[in-house]
Structure 1
Amino acid sequence: MSGKITTHVLDISTGRPAVNVVIELWRMKETNQLEKVKESRTNDDGRVTKPLLEDNEMQVGTYQIQFHVGDYYRENNLNQDPQFLEVVPVQFLVSNEREHYHVPLLIAPGGYSTYRGS
């Protein structure tokens, strides 16, 4: 079994997938600085089309996914007054490069939730 990192974004305020959300994957270097690994956007189902990392790209370490939800709300005229969320960072540990790490994000204008999915 080969490992991978996947994600999806659901907008629970509309009950729909969050389309066209910019997602950046970052890896923590030994110097505790973040290094950008990949950037993607969610599709019509709120998912990235390909895993953010997979197979030989997977390494044990600390990762952060940055979800650019502020742009999503502005582009879809879902603005709130005042705007609260801009970028949601989710930092997690990959302890086994052969496992599947699914990191979904549930968003609403005033908050978010995440968990390790399957």
Structure 2
Amino acid sequence: MGRLTTHVLDTAHGVPGAAMRLELYRLAPDRVLVAQTITNADGRCDRPLLEDAAFTAATYELVFHAGDYFAGRGLDLPQPRFVDIVTLRFGVSDPTQHYHVPLLVSPFAYSTYRGS
């Protein structure tokens, strides 16, 4: 069966985004928290966010606490922060597949893609 994974790359420092807090929400029929974790030293989660029967076709939101991460690294950030909480909304049409949704982030920009 399929699974959902993520990882974070800190593009400002060229390192994995270690110790970033994140939550995963399923949006249908209501917004429900289905997972929360903190990334490990490699910027990854220690296990899939969802897998097997818990991973269903739906719209999801991954919420990354990037502003807190960069503040924790001692960066002098403007207030309010330009990039603070990054919310990625994406759809899963075939939960038998592996969906990898990484975040590449700096204090002033972010991007994502469907990885492998």
With normalisation by structure 1, the TM-score equals 0.93
Aligned to 2:18: 19
Q: Offset of 1:80 from its aligned partner?
A: 2.1
Amino acid at match of 2:51: E
1:63 alignment partner, SS class: strand
For structure 1, which runs of at least 5 residues remain unmatched after alignment?
none
Q: 2:38 aligns with which of 38, 41, 44?
A: 41
1:58 aligns with 2:58: no
Number of residue pairs aligned between Structure 1 and Structure 2:
115
Give the Cα–Cα distance (whole angstroms) in 2 for the partners of residues 14 and 60 of structure 1: 35
Give the Cα–Cα distance (whole angstroms) in 2 for the partners of residues 94 and 10 of structure 1: 23
Q: Offset of 1:76 from its aligned partner?
A: 1.0
Q: Offset of 1:108 from its aligned partner?
A: 0.8
Amino acid at match of 1:95: S
Aligned to 1:103: 101
Identity across matched positions, percent: 44
1:19-54 CA distance string (max 9 Å, x none): 110110000122xx4111110110000000100000
Is contact 2:71–2:77 with CA below 8 Å preserved after alignment? no
Give the Cα–Cα distance (whole angstroms) in 2 for the partners of residues 65 and 87 of structure 1: 10
Aligned to 2:114: 116
Q: Offset of 1:74 from its aligned partner?
A: 1.1
Amino acid at match of 1:104: P
Give the Cα–Cα distance (whole angstroms) in 2 for the partners of residues 43 and 78 of structure 1: 20
With normalisation by structure 2, the TM-score equals 0.95
Q: Offset of 1:65 from its aligned partner?
A: 0.3
